[in-house]
Chain A
Amino acid sequence: LLQKIKKVVEAIVEGMKVVGDKYERLEVFIPEILVISEAVMDVVRELEPRLRAAGVESEGKIVLGVVEGDIHDIGKTIVALVFKSMGWEVYDLGRDVPPSKFVEKAREVDADVVGLSGLMTQDIDPAFKTVLELRRAGARAKTIVGGVFANKEMQERVGADAFGVDPWDGVEKARKLIGKG
């Protein structure tokens, strides 16, 4: 049974990579990704407990959230779905998340990565504070920023370890951060 489940998971991972490529090529867009992700999540919800029960480890643990002061969470929701479908254990804190909550959750679950999502210019300040608080708290988690305008410059301003231009890039960078890429 475990082998069969693993094959399904592998197929999902492959399928989501295809979706990512199509998004890159402007062949699918956010409405399509959301519908696909919803279907994938139904399957993942069924399979995940069985995999864990069988002792199969996740790719890694990621705590995700939209930084304090921002309520735009569509991008973060898609990122959470893609990470889950790629075998990650995802702790989604939602939107408008204060730095202290990121720290609390990262320590509680011993997260490998903390992902900070933001859409607006004003998000740089709370993202910076979150990264700072994580460091001060001694959390071992690496940090990655994502969002409409995520780029190297924003990453450096915030002090994060990486940035993701889209969910798939985010997964790839997160894997690299924890030495799996």
Chain B
Amino acid sequence: MRKRKTCWDDSAARVEATVRGETPDRVPTLLLETEGMCARVSGISVHRMVEDPKLAAEATFEFASVTGADAFNYALIEWPGSVWELMTLARANGIPESEVAKPLDYEVYYPNEGAILRRIKDIEKLQIPDYERTPPWSKILEGKKILVEKIGGYAFLVPPIYPSMDTWVANVMGTERFYMAMRKEPELLKIAFKKAYEAQVALHKAYCNIVGNPPVLAIDPLFANKNMVSWKHWMEFVAPWFFKFLKEYHPDGLVTHNCGRSPYWEELITTMRREGLGATVIGINAACPWDVNWWVEFRKKFPDVLITGVTLDTSAVMIGPMDAVRKRAIEVVTKLKPYKRLMIGPVCQAGWNVPLSNLLVLTEVVEEYGRYY
């Protein structure tokens, strides 16, 4: 029987060394998980996690303890592009929660995109919540505080995930209207991005007040994908507020998460460097491209960028046979380990349909192939 993990001191040292570009004892694991995965492992329903911060903390701890992950995320994902943001916005703006979210017991609630803002022209009237007092965000921050006090901040390398300006705007006004507004109502869209910035600054301040300053931010420019919008449009609409936020509030490190099919990685990293961002650490948490050799070349080009999760996508590899996961993980570790600044894990939060054995095998691979000394 697997030994349950109860102390994260070694993990914290391992993750911190990796983030700083030093040599850890071995490649750390970053096992991102969804609400559904935590519910499955702990037996605590998502509904109860939303209601009670202690239970959400317990469900997260249970997942981390069972898998032995070096780093993971809080069960109710702290992401402003999430359904939790829509529910908080609904409360602050007198919209029934039932209009913006479909509750589920053992899976993350489904958001109803566009329900917050039926008409784009009403964007100015949208009230920014008091995140410290408005649930579910207030309860999420409370639960996160419990876990950070128990385990330490470096276990949570990825969340909080902001700025996520583009996802926020798309969820608030609806993705189709978001895309159309780029061509048809660009001025209103720019106002929406200003509002996204204000909301995420307020959320960040609430996070720092309740949980404390995060060691690393995971930034999520989800629409910076070649199959979604042009780089020109992303730079015109999203980048001004995205970079403004990062310049004003970024801590030592940034991890860029993007689970899209063809992210503008090189453009993004180059622009961030030009903007003077990520001087300490920039991390990339991504599946695509799916060729490990692409990432080896990327690593040579950007030697100081932390790489996590590459090619271990949750849509194919992670839900497949364990042998395939093991084989891919070994390939990633053996090819990228020599360059350091590497963490292993699924690129995106593993849902209930990812077999637990496929997460556990990652911890075995790093023990076997990921040792530096």
List A residues at the B interface (Cβ < 8 Å). 26, 29-32, 34-35, 38, 69, 71-74, 77, 96, 120-122, 124-125, 148-149, 151, 153-154
Contact = CB atoms under 8 A, between A and B. Distances in A.
A151 B316 contact: yes
10 contacts: A29-B226, A29-B228, A30-B179, A31-B229, A31-B233, A38-B180, A74-B176, A122-B36, A124-B353, A148-B315
B112 interface: yes
Nearest to B182: A31
B113 A71 contact: yes
B29 interface: no
B113 to A, nearest CB: 7
Given A148-B261, A149-B315, A149-B316, A26 B226 contact: yes
A122 B179 CA distance: 25
Contacts of A29: 226-230, 233
B339 interface: no
A123 to B, nearest CB: 9
A74 B180 CA distance: 11
Contacts of B110: 69, 71, 96
B179 A31 contact: yes
A32 B351 CA distance: 33
B176 A34 contact: yes
A172 to B, nearest CB: 18
Contacts of B65: none
Interface string B294-333: 0000000000000000000111101110000000000000
Contacts of A26: 226, 230
B79 to A, nearest CB: 15
Given A120-B315, A149-B261, A149-B316, 17 more contacts: A29-B227, A29-B233, A30-B227, A30-B228, A31-B229, A35-B183, A38-B180, A71-B113, A72-B175, A121-B319, A121-B353, A122-B36, A122-B107, A122-B351, A122-B352, A125-B353, A151-B316
Given A26-B226, A121-B351, A149 B176 contact: no
Contacts of B175: 72, 74
Contacts of A73: 176
Nearest to B324: A153
Nearest to B184: A35
B307 to A, nearest CB: 21
- From B111, B261, B315, B354, residue with most partner A Cβ within 10 Å: B315
- Give the dominant DSSP class at A's interface: helix
Contacts of B351: 120-122
A31 B183 contact: yes
A148 B113 contact: no
Contact of A154 (B233, B316, B353): B316
Interface residues of B, number: 32
B180 A31 contact: yes
Contacts of A149: 261, 313, 315-316
B152 interface: no
A99 to B, nearest CB: 17
Given A72-B175, A148-B261, A32 B183 contact: yes
B260 interface: yes
B206 to A, nearest CB: 27
Nearest to B104: A69
- Shortest Cβ-Cβ A-B pairs, 10 listed: A149-B315, A31-B182, A31-B179, A35-B183, A121-B314, A121-B315, A29-B230, A74-B175, A31-B183, A29-B229
Contacts of A96: 110
Nearest to A96: B110
Interface string B340-371: 00000000000111100000000000000000
A13 B354 CA distance: 41
Nearest to A35: B183
Contact of B179 (A34, A151, A154): A34
A168 to B, nearest CB: 13
A26 B227 CA distance: 8
Contacts of B260: 148
Contacts of B319: 121, 124
Contacts of B315: 120-121, 124, 148-149, 154
A29 B107 CA distance: 32
Nearest to A125: B353
A4 B233 CA distance: 38
A71 B179 contact: no
A128 to B, nearest CB: 11
